[in-house]
Structure 1
Amino acid sequence: MTRSIWKGPFVHPSLLKKIDKLKGATSKKPIKTWSRNSTIIPDFVGHSFMIHNGKTFIPITISEEMVGHKLGEFAPTRSFKGHTPADKKAAAAEKPAEGDKK
């Protein structure tokens, strides 16, 4: 479900506070956040975030193309290890089970 247009995009209030603090500062220290459901607004462009993926924090720098998306879209929660190679599957199928004797 999407959020209704009249409500506007959801951004966690603590993120808005942190962005306001960084606007006046010269150092661009990354903002650490757990709010994966916050929408990226134009005020975030150029800032760097550390987005929690459930285990670690993923560093992300916000660009103009990211506006309108959610922060969680850029910090994947699952890591793909790859498919089992075909040669391993074939070797397992050829090898008889330990209980089977012919």
Structure 2
Amino acid sequence: MTRSLKKGPFVDYHLLKKVRSSDVLNKRIIKTWSRRSMIIPEMIGFTFAVHNGKNFIPVFVTENMVGHKLGEFSPTRVFKGHSGDKNSKNLKGSKNVVRKK
């Protein structure tokens, strides 16, 4: 569901203030907890350290990211893989397989 155009994009005020006060050439990382803020064209070229719940993930903003939220580029969950029998995958090539004659 998209946001109404008459409302405009949501950006936290403290984050917008940091973006407007700093310079793109400064190359300073802007640390933020605001994952809900939308990326606007003023943010292009900045690097944000977006909090994922445990630590801060650096996100360099490009033109393709405009309109997305900052939190989309800082994953909060880590997929460790499915558990299962490791030996069942290699049964085809093992010598323990009973073959019909």
User: Which TM-score applies when normalising by structure 1?
Assistant: 0.79
RMSD of aligned alpha carbons: 1.9
SS in 1 for 2:22: helix
- Aligned twin of 1:70: 69
**% identical aligned pairs:** 56
Residue in 1 that maps onto 2:17: 17
Q: Distance in 2 between matches of 1:21 and 1:89?
A: 59
State how many pairs are aligned. 89
Residue correspondence of structure 1 range 62-101 to structure 2 within 5 A: 62-87=61-86
Deviations 1:1-40 (A, max 9, x none): 43221010000011111011113x7421100001101000
Alignment check: 8 A CA contact 1:22 1:28 kept: no
Paired position in structure 2 for 1:52: 51
| Greater share of helix | 1
Moved runs in structure 1, 4+ residues, more than 6 A?
none
**TM-score, normalised relative to structure 2:** 0.79
1:6 matches 2:6: yes
Aligned residue in 1 for 2:93: none
**Residue type at the aligned position of 2:54:** K
- How far the C-alpha of 1:52 sits from its partner, in A, is 0.3
